[in-house]
Chains A and B, each alone.
Chain A
Amino acid sequence: MNQRHIFGTVFWLESAIAGGVFVVIAIILLVSLVRRRARVGLVASQRQDNRKLEISYAVVLAAFAAFLVSYTAWQNHRETGANASTAPAGHASSSAQGSGAPSKPVTVNVTAFQWCWQFGYPQAPGSLKVSDNCQGGKVPTLVVPTGREIRIHLTSKDVIHSMWVPALRYKMDAFPDHVNSFTIKIDKAGRWVGRCAEFCGERHSKMHFWLKAVPPDEYKHWVQQHAAHAGGAQA
């Protein structure tokens, strides 16, 4: 859950900064409202500017912006760096937390369509595909193994959709005639809701799916069982 961790760090940092800035400005505002309320004997200052203060303030702001941009870009590269890891593996991060040797990522081809999802497993025998119609509460489940990298190739059959798993703090758009690829990795077993985040027409609000992470053994079992249905369309 690389994305979730990075989101957590950066969101926390920026919220703290934003909170601090808000409090400072609110205090300046409130204090001047109280102290500068019009009353007999109080005269308004006629000062027009304060060049020195303005310039130093701008410099501080610029330095702050530069810090924020580079820090968050660095975090972004950590995230996409993991994304690009179809390259020969063995980098520190994956072996550090992994259970044993880093294995080849699991590939899933996700196809969005009006108004549901299809998950294809090209590495499984008989190129297993899972789908549903997202009606009457019947939504498809994207089953993946825990602890392994999952490489998602995302596209669409018709209009633009967006694949969002709020618990992962990540989404990516699904375009027709274009494939977006990214990598996720899930540390623990569980089931999370996924939604379509890009408006795609009448049933956009119903276009859900489940993301289900199971231990690798169970995953293997699940693949064999479903592949036995020879490209079966049910999950």
Chain B
Amino acid sequence: MTVPATSDPADTRTAEPDGWLGWLTTTDHKRIGLLTLATSVVLLFLMGILALIMRGQLAQPGEDLIDAHTYNQVFTIHGSGMIYLVMTPFAIGLGVYLVPLQVGAPALATPRTTLLGYWLYVLGALSMLCGFAIPSGAARSGWFSYPPLADSDYSPGAGPDLWVIGVAMSAIGILLMAWAVLWTVLRKRAIGMTMLRLPVFSWSMVVTCLMVLGAFPSLLAALVLLALGRGDPAIFDSNVWNIGYQHLFWFYGHPVVYVMFFPYLAAVAEVLAVFCGRRFFGYKATVLSLLVFAALSMSVWGHHMFTTGQASNDYYSLTSILLTVPAGAEYFGMLGTLVGGRIVFRTPMLFALAFIPQFLIGGLTGIMTGTPVIDYHVTDSYFIVAHFHYTLFAGSAFGLFAAVYYWFPKVTGVMLDERLGKIHFWLLVVGANLTFLPMFGLGYKGMPRRVNTYSSVDGFGLLNLLASCGAAVLAAGMIVFAVNILRSLLRRRRGGLAPMPDNPWNAHTLEWATSSPPPPENFTPDRPLPPITSNAPLLDLPMAQKEAEGANPGKTAQPGEPAGPAERSGL
């Protein structure tokens, strides 16, 4: 990538080799972060294509677009890919990029291990996807690959081996990156940046990384067990190891749900605050609730196992339903921010706003599935598929898009197109609800998950057709998104875009105090750190200094509003 002509001369001071090599061996957290983000967005598109194949196969009863063997690979890699290779790495990648900037640090605490983490993640992804290239096919026992089904007796071939290796490598990669982000917050904060002045997003990363460190080793243990079972399947003749695997897996599996939630929730919180032109309401309560949430999240894993008949219903139901308290506190903060806000409807804000009711549907149905007598019916049905797509897609992925639209100018120095962004947004809202709302009905009526087809007498045809139409709308929306990104990047390369103010949204946190994109050392003598007096330092600056920091001159009173061409020349 070339250095844009308009950016800060500091960019050229980089000691790293130019071109590709420079990127691949970089220790600059912004480059590692960007690589991680870009890789996971590419994988998001790939996994989305797999989802479209499934929705094609399920659109009508008794279809034969792909056979069962292929369908099973497709849903397994879609689910595994979305979780291990998209939503988790994107969340951590955001942290790698943003946390040093937000805490006023020049670099990550452990840049080399972070780079190693990125490479492990990439190799893991390649390993998992390679399965499609071998004759016996990719892994096909689902994203949680329970033994004995996943052992070498019942799932022979190299595909599942590649899956185990791939998941393990990417998990280790994420662990290393999470460690770096956590250590950066703990040890590399700028003077004045106390823990209670961390932006909400950085706090969410602290909590997320703690969960990663607590939970991912359990995934690795589960994978080791599975690997042993692929060597000697006889160990899974014994129930102890089968149920033991489930405990190990879900001890990781539930916290990771919040690893794929908190960073997106916090991105939404930051966007809400900025486009409401005020501080996030209830900052301390939100930080506290994140900590409580994370602690509780380590104790709820058994709610995935009510129907095993081998987990304590009362205990896991208690801890699961208690999660409503911290979750409710977070909603309180978001709504409180809006109630007193001065709301500007830009694309990042639209995604953040839609996150609120859509994630809520996922959360409320989560209370239901945390109730054993309801879970008995709905678990392992399409009801669950609907539930977790509301949390992960209609929730977290909307947070992801809010983050992309919001930080894209920070990272690249150019804005994304508003009009295309709004089209993308509306297609996604319509598509997501059209796809996933009917699935609640399907599950309630008795459609199990992970079926490659169903019969016309089952009465599942109409709702499945609606869901598949929704998927087509989603696909259209994602094409618009891709066009928007590529168009902005191409325009940047060609030049000729009017220069953008460094802080186009009048945002509040430190990453916006430096140039966009930031110089390699983040803050330089001519773009120094401003004084850090609260969790929204740029809001505390006197008006004159705000202008000097590059906020829209003359428009500081109207946060988030577009900088017209006239103002742009003020730089």
A→B interface (CB under 8 Å) = 3, 6-7, 10-11, 14-15, 18, 21-22, 25-26, 28-29, 32-33, 36-38, 42-50, 54, 57-58, 61-62, 64-65, 68-69, 72-73, 75-76, 79-80, 114, 158-160, 162, 164, 166-167, 169-173, 175-178, 180, 182, 193, 195-205
Q: Which residues of chain A are near B313, meaning CB under 8 Å?
A: 73, 76, 80
Residue of A nearest to B342 (CB): A44
Closest Cβ of chain A: how far from B342's Cβ, in Å?
4
Interface of B is mostly: helix
Does the CB pair A22–B361 fall under 8 Å? Answer: yes
A54 vs B155: C-alpha distance when bound (angstroms)? 52
Does the CB pair A49–B283 fall under 8 Å? Answer: yes
A197 vs B451: C-alpha distance when bound (angstroms)? 9
With A45-B278, A68-B321, A199-B450 as given contacts, are A158 and B377 in contact (CB-CB < 8 Å)? no
Does the CB pair B239–A170 fall under 8 Å? Answer: no
Extra contacts besides A3-B376, A199-B449 (8): CB < 8 Å: A48-B283, A49-B284, A58-B328, A164-B380, A171-B380, A199-B72, A204-B451, A205-B450
Does the CB pair A160–B148 fall under 8 Å? Answer: yes
The 10 closest A-B pairs by CB, nearest first: A45-B340, A166-B446, A205-B451, A18-B364, A180-B309, A44-B278, A44-B342, A44-B277, A169-B377, A177-B239
Counted as pairs of residues, one from A and one from B, with CB atoms less than 8 Å apart, the total is 245
Task: Scan residues 441-468 of chain B and give those whose CB is less than 8 A from a CB of chain A.
Answer: 445-446, 448-454, 458
Any A CB within 8 A of the CB of B528: no
A33 vs B450: C-alpha distance when bound (angstroms)? 40
Task: Give me 16 A-to-B residue pairs in the complex whose CB atoms sit less than 8 angstroms apart, sorted by A's number.
Answer: A3-B373, A11-B374, A38-B344, A45-B340, A54-B285, A57-B329, A61-B325, A76-B373, A158-B154, A160-B148, A164-B380, A166-B381, A178-B242, A178-B243, A198-B146, A198-B380
A205 vs B560: C-alpha distance when bound (angstroms)? 51
With A166-B445, A196-B448 as given contacts, are A45 and B341 in contact (CB-CB < 8 Å)? yes
Contacting residue for A58 out of B325, B335, B360, B371, CB 8 A: B325
Does the CB pair B149–A79 fall under 8 Å? Answer: no
Does the CB pair A64–B324 fall under 8 Å? Answer: yes
Any A CB within 8 A of the CB of B336: yes
Q: Which residues of chain A are near B243, meaning CB under 8 Å?
A: 175, 178
A37 vs B332: C-alpha distance when bound (angstroms)? 20
Residue of B nearest to A197 (CB): B380
Contacting residue for B353 out of A29, A61, A79, CB 8 A: A29
Size class of the B contact interface (CB-based, 8 Å): 35 or more
Contacting residue for A170 out of B360, B376, B454, CB 8 A: B376
Contacting residue for B339 out of A36, A73, A203, CB 8 A: A36
Cβ contacts B518-534/A at 8 Å (1 or 0 each)? 00000000000000000
Task: Scan residues 61-110 of chain B and give those whose CB is less than 8 A from a CB of chain A.
Answer: 68-69, 72
Does the CB pair A18–B365 fall under 8 Å? Answer: yes
Does the CB pair B448–A69 fall under 8 Å? Answer: no
With A166-B377, A177-B242 as given contacts, are A44 and B340 in contact (CB-CB < 8 Å)? yes
Task: Scan residues 217-246 of chain B and give those whose CB is less than 8 A from a CB of chain A.
Answer: 236-239, 242-243
Q: Which residues of chain B are near A173, meaning CB under 8 Å?
A: 307-309
With A22-B357, A176-B242 as given contacts, are A202 and B72 in contact (CB-CB < 8 Å)? yes
Residue of B nearest to A166 (CB): B446
Q: Which residues of chain A are near B279, meaning CB under 8 Å?
A: 46, 48
Q: Which residues of chain A are near B69, meaning CB under 8 Å?
A: 202
Any A CB within 8 A of the CB of B276: yes
Residue of A nearest to B67 (CB): A202
Residue of B nearest to A80 (CB): B313
Does the CB pair B281–A199 fall under 8 Å? Answer: no
Does the CB pair B374–A10 fall under 8 Å? Answer: yes
Task: Scan residues 98-141 of chain B and give those whose CB is less than 8 A from a CB of chain A.
Answer: 141
Does the CB pair B338–A33 fall under 8 Å? Answer: yes
Does the CB pair B343–A36 fall under 8 Å? Answer: yes
